[in-house]
Amino acid sequence: MYAGRKPQKHVSILDEDNEEDNGYESLVTDIQWDPHSTEYALVSRYQCGLIMMDTNNMSVLMRYSMPSRAVYVQCLAWVPAASGTFVTGDQQNGILRIWNVSKAEPLESLKIKTTGFHAMSALQRQTAGISTDSVTTRHQGGPGVTPPVLLVCTFSDGGVGLYDLSLRRWSYLREKGHTETVFDCKFSTSDATRLATASFDGSVKVWDASRPELKFECSSPGNEGILYQISWAPSNLNCIAVASAKHGMFIWNISKGKITHRYHETANIILIYMVMRCVYTVCWNQIDSTRILTGGADGYAVVRQIDEDGVVRFDHNGAAVYGCEWSPSDQSLFVTGAEDGKVRVFCQPLLGQQGNADLVCKPVRVFEGHSSKSFHVKFSPLRDGYLASGSDDSTIRIWSYGEAKCTQVLTGHKSNVRGLCWSPEIAYLLYSGSWDYSIILWDIRNGSKLCTLDGHSGDVYGLSIHKNRPFILASSSRDSTVRLWSTYQVVSSLPIAVLAKVSWSEVFATPQVAMATDSPPLLCGKLSDTICKQITSKTLDDVMAIQSKFHLLFQYTLGIENLLDLIKVVLGKPESSFSRDYGRGIVHTKHLTRYKQAEAAELDMARQTYRGGQIGAPSRQDKLQQAADIYLRLGNLEKYCLLMVENQQWEKALSLAPAVSHKFWNSLLTRYTEYLRANKPSQVLPYQTAMGETEALVNYHLSNGTYSDALMAAVVGFQGSKSFSSERHSADGAGDDGSTENRDLIRLTIHKMAEHYQSLGQHLSAASAYLSADMVEEGVTVLVKSHMVELAFTLALSFNLTRLACEAGEMLLYRCDKLRRGDNLGLNILMALNSERLATKFCLWNPNSAGLRRAVNVESNKKADELLKLSAHSSVTEEVRLNLLSSDSSAGLEMGIAVICDMMKEKDFVLTSEIEEMLDFLQLLFDLLTISCYIGALKAVRKGYDIIVRHLLVLSERRINFDQSTCIPLSGSQIIKDINTWDRRLSSLQESSDLRCLYRRANFSQNLQSNTLYGPITTPGSTLPSYSDKNKRSIISHTIIKGPVYELEDNESCISLGEAIMWAQVNPFSPISCSEKVALANKINPM
């Protein structure tokens, strides 16, 4: 015991039954001071239980009894606002126990997890309706009431959670994460929904990757030492081969939940304890499932036949083998990477056809070039005879087996290269991960870097591509995390090409054609080949079906199948066309009750029941009980029930209340429901259901974050049911039309559910939620605002949502402009939209494009001149448009600016669609920059882009100060006033007259907030935390950017991608261009 830095007392605690304690058994696992005493402390010991100790006289005041001597306490914590109450967490089985200092046995035991505790801390939670001193001790009748307390719990398997002790449920739980470096990650080769990870912590974990966020599925037994690499078995064997430092190579059978094979063969008996068990790399042959390749510290690669004797060893001249892989096209060919930096290719003789069971073979080809260790080696899945290797010399080399030489050296990493992975669809695309914490996407045709992914805060080790989503990449790192990345941005022209309905030769190609230096991205893998064959054979002839296939291929967010299933429901497709997992996701409201009833029937057949912790009623009051008994004998049931209620014996009162009257029973049930809602909300659900309180049920689930249950309650209420029993519904789940109130309640629930998913960054789930109630426009709006423009464009055209189609189409046109493919892809998009405004805008942005000029019915400047002579009676906007398209475009510029300035000089100036349309048409001019900044600020106010409003106003004021001679009818003092008004809007309880004036100029009204497109734009990944030391701050919000970063033209300043998209929609000029005095500004195009 310490006072300051020096120990004041040394306390020895011996078990009363073992005076010769060996020290290990009495190992102290946790110690906590009594919050109300400076002398008493709770001490938990490894095998000697739990005690309360008086540190003043070094005596044990109380010994607490555990269920058995096999139960050990790992951690403990005092419960705030509950004097004398504490909780403990078991070391092995995740049981939480509630204690009172005066009793030797626990008041209650709750199994809240299957694995042991690591540490725990208690926090008080303020909640209305629950008293913070409502703690009672346990009697034989049941557990006591606990105050509103949150327990922060960590577990031995890496899990962490927030447990609500009063409600007996998790408020948050992250299941079973790794606690150490994750050395490898692999998507299953047979089931694409499963991802396996191997870690330094000695465990292999399998995750369900079918949802927007990874969900833990199962874990290996653990305690296997360092696990370096894993490899899935082919087909449906459901096994994983693991390379470990402690136990060599072993096979974990996931179905059986145990390790079924272990292999310890070694070529060096002298080094048996140092070398025999250390295997660094493993690869299961995907063509012949009986063969597994391993490499280790003994300097050999080993091929073994499962369940048969004999191995074949491949000599590496004593160099440890760090990487290996079978050829995807030749079952006997494999490649290795070794400590000496050499890359070796071997051809394995067939086992069973050799006279000698133990063979030692030499390589058929050796590649030299790396100056340090070579690790991962990967065959190209699209080009036979080509392979890549990563090395500690920070380079990646591309080798040609046929030409026996290195064809490309990729330089760009700043440290050792560990992870390596080829794209299964783009022949030239290669991924690499390094100790510099980054992942780089390479174009091996010219050795250039296409993209760098930053986000990990430690060395990157493992990389893996989703089996059915070739542009979803998984990575593992020393920071103990696994991350899923979207890489489709490097081929973003392909989805647009599909939407633009170009020739299929511009989408599909052979690997040889795709590798041409000047070739755009082309698909040449197995998945795209299947789609191509279906299209050419007319198996896929429906436009929506074709585009759905490509959305599944390109979509970078998991959960796309659920959305496409709901689209089929809305379009009236048969259920036979739904995916097999439709019932596991968000289900359409007309199917919801039927699917849930089927799920309940399945659980009932399996005899699976849930037993949760319950909070008991208060202790009996003898006098009231005696009086109640007298009334019962007298036959006065009403008085008996009322006394039972006063005595907190609600169940007895409710059981006899129907004998008085149904009205009396209903009044008691209402009172009991209100009591439970205030004091025991976890128990209120069945009583609200019995009373048919649909709105109360929905609000209860919404407040607890159980949105799917809230939706189910709203749907059942809409269908006129007061229970979830199947007898009340027909086979297809249809009911009566229900009331308008319940219909509105469904929409409210859907909105809350969608907002929840959007706050988590799960935009596809939010769109699916809207589609589940036929709210198509809202669902497509979510896709537009989350920048999933290809999918939004498809759905908007399919459901004839013209406004949303133009919004998504405009973003696609920006992307075509950036990709310099406006003439072909952009023209096809414009033809689908049939929007003269967009056609004119992009024609002016691309003045030399003959195709775009034809799209606006102006084939030449001469034609524009002729149209101009015939349009004297047309609108000012039309006249400006034609002047800009004519041979004298400067006249259009001058006219447009003059018109806008005249409008802004008006006393009651309001931002109109005419001003916005003319700004879309005008070219780059200094005076126009100032107008664009200020008008952009007003547009941002109206659209709900609050985060960029102030920056636009500041730049407007700065630009006016750059040039006092500007003809813009704005003053710096006026804009400063607007800035101050905008800054004060949140601190003021009421709208000021200045704020109302700003809203009026922006043409903003409160009704706009109900517009589906109102509010900020968020992009996928923008809610995910980033722990990289390369985190950057936005020059707009001045906060650390989460998710995708958009770098500006100075290569130093940056903003988030969501901020960039909002900025581009209200102001086409870069924030940097707007902040400087320039004659020609740079456009911003984050699309």
140-197 per-position pLDDT tens digit: 333 445 678 899 998 877 778 889 888 788 888 876 678 789 999 999 988 888 999 9
If phi > 0 it is left, if psi is from -120 to 50 it is alpha, else beta; for residue 208 that is beta
- Highest mean pLDDT range out of 347-356, 584-593, 624-633, 695-704? 584-593
The confidence score (pLDDT) of residue 556 equals: 60
In this structure, which topology does domain 2-174 adopt according to CATH? Methylamine Dehydrogenase; Chain H (2.130.10)
Query: What are φ and ψ of residue 946, in 5° steps?
Result: -60, -35
- The predicted model scores a pTM of 0.72
The confidence score (pLDDT) of residue 1055 equals: 85
The confidence score (pLDDT) of residue 395 equals: 94
CA torsion sign, 44 to 48 to 54 to 56?
negative
pLDDT digits (tens, 9 = 90+) for 969-989: 777 788 888 888 888 877 666
pLDDT digits (tens, 9 = 90+) for 203-239: 899 988 877 677 778 888 777 888 999 999 998 888 9
Which has the higher per-residue pLDDT, 714 or 95?
A: 95
How far from the centroid of its chain's Cα atoms is residue 25's Cα?
44
How many other CB atoms sit within 10 Å of the CB of residue 134? 17
Query: Rounded distance, CA 1017 to CA 1013, Å?
Result: 9
pLDDT at 434 over 90: yes
Strand order in the sheet with 95-100: 73-78, 85-90, 95-100, 108-111
Residue 606 pLDDT class (50, 70, 90 cuts): very low
How far from the centroid of its chain's Cα atoms is residue 928's Cα?
41
pLDDT at 406 over 70: yes
Spatial neighbors of 709 by CB under 8 A, at least 6 apart, are 701
Burial 453-483 (b: 16+ CB within 10 A, else e): bbbbbbbbbbbbbbbebbbbbbbbbbbbbbb
Mean pLDDT to the nearest integer, 29-36:
87
- Alpha-carbon distance values, 356 to 263, 264, 350, 359 (Å): 20, 20, 11, 6
Instruction: Give the whole-number percent of the chain exceeding pLDDT 70.
Output: 77
Mean pLDDT to the nearest integer, 814-840:
71
pLDDT digits (tens, 9 = 90+) for 274-306: 445 689 999 999 888 888 999 998 888 888 888
pLDDT at 990 over 70: no
How many other CB atoms sit within 10 Å of the CB of residue 187? 22
Residue of 854, 847, 824, 786 whose CA lies nearest to 1021: 786
Cα-based angle 349, 351, 357 (whole degrees, multiple of 5): 105
Q: Mean pLDDT score of the chain, rounded to an integer? A: 77
DSSP character at residue 824? I
Under a CB-based contact definition with an 8 Å cutoff, are residues 666 and 674 in contact? no
Residue 751 pLDDT class (50, 70, 90 cuts): confident
Give the helix, strand, coil percentages of the chain, each rounded to 5.
35, 25, 40
Q: Beta strand 311-315 with 343-347: parallel, antiparallel or unpaired? A: unpaired
pLDDT digits (tens, 9 = 90+) for 511-530: 999 998 888 899 999 998 88
Mean pLDDT to the nearest integer, 69-75:
83
Residue 355 pLDDT class (50, 70, 90 cuts): very low
pLDDT digits (tens, 9 = 90+) for 778-812: 888 888 888 888 888 888 888 888 888 888 888 88
pLDDT at 386 over 80: yes
Burial-class residue 32 by CB neighbours within 10 Å (0-12, 13-18, 19+): middle
Spatial neighbors of 467 by CB under 8 A, at least 6 apart, are 187, 188, 189, 192
Which has the higher per-residue pLDDT, 256 or 410?
A: 410
- Alpha-carbon distance values, 56 to 40, 45, 101, 953 (Å): 8, 20, 18, 67
Residue 423 pLDDT class (50, 70, 90 cuts): very high
pLDDT digits (tens, 9 = 90+) for 58-70: 888 888 988 887 7
Mean pLDDT to the nearest integer, 524-539:
86
User: Which range (14-28, 644-658, 760-774) has the least confidence?
Assistant: 14-28
The confidence score (pLDDT) of residue 378 equals: 94
Q: Beta strand 359-361 with 239-244: parallel, antiparallel or unpaired? A: unpaired
User: Which range (157-171, 247-261, 310-324, 911-925) has the least confidence?
Assistant: 911-925
pLDDT digits (tens, 9 = 90+) for 492-513: 888 888 888 888 888 899 999 9
The confidence score (pLDDT) of residue 1081 equals: 54
Residue 88 pLDDT class (50, 70, 90 cuts): very high
Under a CB-based contact definition with an 8 Å cutoff, are residues 34 and 44 in contact? no
The confidence score (pLDDT) of residue 1006 equals: 64
The confidence score (pLDDT) of residue 821 equals: 66
Start-end of CATH 2.130.10.10 domains in the chain: 2-174
Residue of 867, 822, 819, 812 whose CA lies nearest to 843: 822
Query: Rounded distance, CA 1063 to CA 948, Å?
Result: 7
The confidence score (pLDDT) of residue 464 equals: 94
If phi > 0 it is left, if psi is from -120 to 50 it is alpha, else beta; for residue 1021 that is left
pLDDT at 1073 over 80: no
The confidence score (pLDDT) of residue 636 equals: 81
Longest Cα pair distance anywhere in the chain, in angstroms? 111
DSSP character at residue 36? T
Query: Rounded distance, CA 490 to CA 146, Å?
Result: 55
The confidence score (pLDDT) of residue 613 equals: 33
